[in-house]
Copies of this chain bind each other. A is one copy, B any other.
Amino acid sequence: MLPNLEQVQVRSFAPARFHNPLVGLRSTFVGEERVLLPSTLGELEPYLQAGHLPPAFEMAGPRREIFFDPDQTACGILTCGGLCPGINDVVRSVVLTLTYAYGVRRIYGFRYGFAGLAASNGLEPMLLNPRVVEDIHTKGGTLLGSSRGPQEMGDMVETLQKLGVRVLFAVGGDGTLRGASALAQEILRHGLEIAVVGIPKTIDNDLLWVERSFGFATAVEEATRALEAAHAEARGTLGGVGLVKLMGRQSGFITAHASLANSDVNFCLVPEIPFRLEAFLQALEQRLRERQHAVVAVAEGAAQEMLQVGIERDASGNPRLGDVGVFLRDEINRYLRGRGLEFSVKYIDPSYIIRGLPANATDSEYCLALGQYAVHAGLAGRTDLMVGHWNGHFTYVPIPLATARRKQIEPEGELWQRVLGATGQPDMS
């Protein structure tokens, strides 16, 4: 079921009171264009039959009239959660666009996520300008630092008011965006005019209404290098098993896409497709007997039901996962040891190498666009929204809609069917 028209409507300060400084420099502004949520005839048909317009997102882009006066507006930006290739590209793009397109002259970089917004932590914000951010995209990580978890709401609003920040950009994942949404709503409740704009960051690519999140292409690229190494190890010994754990707490997108980019993977294990351990081990043994080596890619969130997982959660509220990579390595060793086969399991966990990379060209371009469109949204007075990408267009999406649940691989969908075709793995459910 697609969301209804109200759910796709972005909140906005109104009325727009200023001319966009781009007027006269650019010929094109975005007006009433909207991007269809349906992409197939099947999704569209119920609306056609009911005689209703289908739901459609506001298209991202500069508006001819804006809400905030760039001359009088300070802006802030913060980055939360785990590292992801491209964070610095986004920060750089926001700063360059604020400066060169709109002439905003005061930009604060809050340190270590929401923590830097709560005065009680004593973390002074950095002053950002084009010179400071000029080359930061050539390094991975985040210039501003990051942290997990929320801060006291009043404390944060007070900081924004004290510094005169009128638009806050928050780069982060599911938890961060919920936090940003709560902050935006608190601000609205107080009748303040401060916009909060989210820029979705999830290396797992598991946010709804975002076709591909930034950093994802880089992550898949590097993940395939780990898979190539696993393949070399596997082929290098009799009965070689190369086992690679990849990121993906609730969604196996990195693992699935990397298994398609490196078509030497024989078993692709993701959270969305449960499997029986015994069935997997038997299939693995059969593969070794027939072909002498095997490559296994597993998402960190797979097979969690087999692990003795407590209910501990990290500061972002994500449940702590058991280590499925170590678990599988040990189980494979245990199982094969009694089977009269020569074998050797090599286990690779490249997660922290992947997260800390600079963005590749695909992601770098994407981050630039996210920063540009986030700035256009914020100055136009949109709030409680994030920049999305849907059906080939950048969009503005209400945060509550995007965080309603996680995006996941559909077992019947084309992605997983392609994985089955490429790996040739049997049904192990």
By a beta-carbon cutoff of 8 Å, the part of chain A in contact with chain B is: 25-28, 33-36, 38-42, 44, 48, 53-54, 56, 59-62, 83, 92-93, 96-97, 100-101, 112, 115, 135, 137-142, 145-147, 211, 217, 220-221, 223-226, 228-233, 235-238, 242, 257-258, 260-263, 346-350, 352-357, 360-362, 364-365, 368-369, 372, 391-394, 411-414, 417-418, 420-422, 424
Report how far A364 CA is from B424 CA in the complex, Å. Answer: 18
Name the distance in Å between A416's Cβ and chain B's nearest Cβ: 8
State the oligomeric state as a number of copies. 4
Whether A112 lies near B238 (C-beta < 8 A) is yes
Chain B residue nearest in CB terms to A357: B229
Across the A-B interface, the 4 shortest Cβ-Cβ residue pairs: A141-B232, A229-B356, A232-B356, A261-B361
Evaluate whether A139 and B232 lie within 8 angstroms (CB atoms) in the complex, with A369-B260, A393-B40 already known.
yes
Q: Is the CB of A352 within 8 A of B357?
A: no
B217 near A422 (CB under 8 angstroms)? no
The residues of B that contact A348 with a CB separation of less than 8 Å are: 352-353
Docked pose: A173 CA to B343 CA in angstroms: 22
Q: In the bound complex, do residue A101 and residue B421 qualify as a contact, i.e. CB atoms below 8 Å apart? A: yes
Known: A34-B40, A356-B233. A361 touches B421 (CB 8 A): no
Taking the closest CB of chain B, its distance from the CB of A64, in whole angstroms, is 13
8 contacts between A and B (CB under 8 A): A33-B42, A39-B391, A60-B414, A138-B139, A139-B232, A258-B361, A260-B365, A262-B361
**A40-B34, A220-B362, A418-B368 as given contacts; A135 in contact with B139, CB under 8 Å:** yes
Residues A228 and B372 in contact in the complex (CB < 8 Å), given A56-B40, A101-B421: no
Partner of A44 from the list B54, B357, B393 (CB cut-off 8 Å) is: B54
Query: Nearest CB to that of A220 among chain B residues?
Result: B361
What's the least CB distance linking A377 to chain B, in Å? Answer: 14
Residue of B nearest to A39 (CB): B391
Q: Which residues of B contact A233 (CB under 8 A)?
A: 83, 141, 352, 355-356
Bound CA span A232–B82, Å: 11
Question: Are the CB atoms of A138 and B135 closer together than 8 Å?
Answer: yes
In the complex, A33→B42 CA distance in Å?
7
